[in-house]
Structure 1
């Protein structure tokens, strides 16, 4: 089984097209300048604001009250900004029995937020969205097409991804959404606080510093490797790990966020430690006669993600990163010490 679009969600380097204000700016008393953003209360947002993105330029005339989320992660940013969406995508991977994700606890309110179809389907539920009478649609980390965007924009102002489909960093998610809802300063503080948390965890785990890694999606028959720019990979960079030479070579010739590799060429991905998940358990992965030829696998230097919720969290947001790191860092440290 190949990894689904959801399981291979991606992010790009920090290359948002730019966020510009029109009329007023946002929740800051002044626009951010050389001295950094001002610190007026987040609720004091000024409108209209305009957000530039890959599919156009979207102006939000007034503070949105009914926000619909498409794709992945936008709802997490809204909750982190103390806002409630009226609709979010259904979770198909890693969900709890009630259809939510663990880090949604205390945020998701079924009385005010309904589910839209899972984005894996590739279908945008235009009629369902229109019936919700939204005043903003957030598709910042999604795969909507130009045609989808044109249809959504007729329903409500719609903010798409900064560059390529499914290619948005967690930082850009936060800052673009913060601008769209008039809470830029609050969003920027969330980003800086999260980056500080990452730096602290990196400093507290010196065994990770400078170790090479490859991040695999492995099944009995197939192998994929995540590349720099994907949120999973970039998160490990922030913790001090570095790409294996074979991963670096693949990234030079691969325009997407992952590459398929013939299973018998797995040694091209040799590294100090292996991070992965897929259609195998850790025990099956270690016992596989091909994967076990990797020195890291033979040595037990493996951070294998058997928890689907943790796998889901690795498509990072400002809301789930602390939850994710509490579980991921111990796995990485154990692998680095093997």
Structure 2
């Protein structure tokens, strides 16, 4: 990809002028290794590959050697396929002292690219939006955004750096299975991606079999913040959080399904005055701390949610655990099974 890389190096100057981020440095010597001995062999014969997405089509003419990612999920999927990105976002929410996650750190170490070592990915912050300069400095052959919220402007700017594999239809709505298959196709690892989906789904099925009380339990996965103007919102079937629970044999409450209609939104706001209508066996939500959980039960409106009144409110203030389900991918979901599923099962057992 020498010729195309030269063209993209010229584009770096253009991108730098377009973006407002500060000057950055590229990978250190030896950084950016994208394959590992434990990874499946990429299929060169599969190229050129054309991938359809929300902004049109992207064609990759040969196996990408340098892979950059944006948003959640994409770096995790690449790593799960044995490909170490040259650049990936810092995990600010739910991240550890490395700006990473336990499941990502474990896989990086397995692939010989632990954070802070030579060969580790460059990390860039997305706290103020996409880090265009930092991404360009990694000199990627492809930018993975199969799960993301790219705007048309974002896509156009990133495309000046390298071919972009964007989400297929809905921003932040790509199922983890689809993200895995799309990224597998982009990296010439479709067979490995399909096997990874199968093994991850089997792990979820095995966890569900250990907790038969989950089967048929109705749920609402939402956000409850007492006192806030938008104190209630619920995630729809377009989001990976409810998808994960349905994969465990649970059933999204009819009230959410009916309210969603044909909307492609991954969440919908809900009036706190109608909290009593949110009927389900259990209600799942993130909370800031234990006091926040108690405040939900004491709130005159939120306390009317049927599951709250039955002590079937599942809360977690662990940002890392919340991230493992919110940013669902083969690495995070397997990590989440031991910690998250027992919380659900405990509430379901008393329904």
Quote the Cα distance in structure 2 between the aligned partners of 1:323 and 1:247. Answer: 28
Runs of 4+ in 1 over 6 A off after TM superposition: none
Which residue is 2:61 aligned to? 61
The alignment of Structure 1 onto Structure 2 pairs a total of residues equal to 297
Which residue is 2:335 aligned to? 323
Which residue is 1:294 aligned to? 305
What stretches of structure 2 of length at least 5 have no aligned partner?
A: 1-39, 109-113
Which residue is 2:23 aligned to? none
Which residue is 1:114 aligned to? 122
What stretches of structure 1 of length at least 5 have no aligned partner?
A: 1-40
Range with bigger deviation, 295-304 or 280-289: 280-289
Q: 1:186 aligns with which of 192, 206, 223?
A: 192
CA contact (8 A) 1:282 1:306 kept: no
Which residue is 2:41 aligned to? 42
**How much does 1:42 deviate?**
3.2
1:276 aligns with 2:275: no
Secondary structure, in 3 states, of the residue corresponding to 2:106? Answer: coil
Range with bigger deviation, 68-77 or 293-302: 293-302
Range with bigger deviation, 108-117 or 306-315: 108-117
1:228 aligns with 2:237: yes
Which residue is 1:30 aligned to? none
Deviations 1:123-151 (A, max 9, x none): 32222222211111111111112222222
- TM-score, normalisation: structure 2: 0.80
The alignment yields a C-alpha RMSD, in angstroms, of: 1.8
Quote the Cα distance in structure 1 between the aligned partners of 2:41 and 2:125. Answer: 31
1:165 aligns with 2:171: yes
Which residue is 2:12 aligned to? none
Quote the Cα distance in structure 2 between the aligned partners of 1:149 and 1:254. Answer: 23
CA 1:143 to 1:318, structure 2 compared with 1: closer, same or farther past 3 Å? same
- TM-score, normalisation: structure 1: 0.83
Deviations 1:104-124 (A, max 9, x none): 122343332111222x53x32
Q: 1:311 aligns with which of 318, 322, 329?
A: 322
Quote the Cα distance in structure 2 between the aligned partners of 1:74 and 1:186. Answer: 16
Secondary structure, in 3 states, of the residue corresponding to 1:215? Answer: strand
CA contact (8 A) 2:238 2:264 kept: no
Which residue is 2:253 aligned to? 244
**How much does 1:70 deviate?**
0.7
Quote the Cα distance in structure 2 between the aligned partners of 1:68 and 1:169. Answer: 20
Range with bigger deviation, 134-143 or 254-263: 254-263
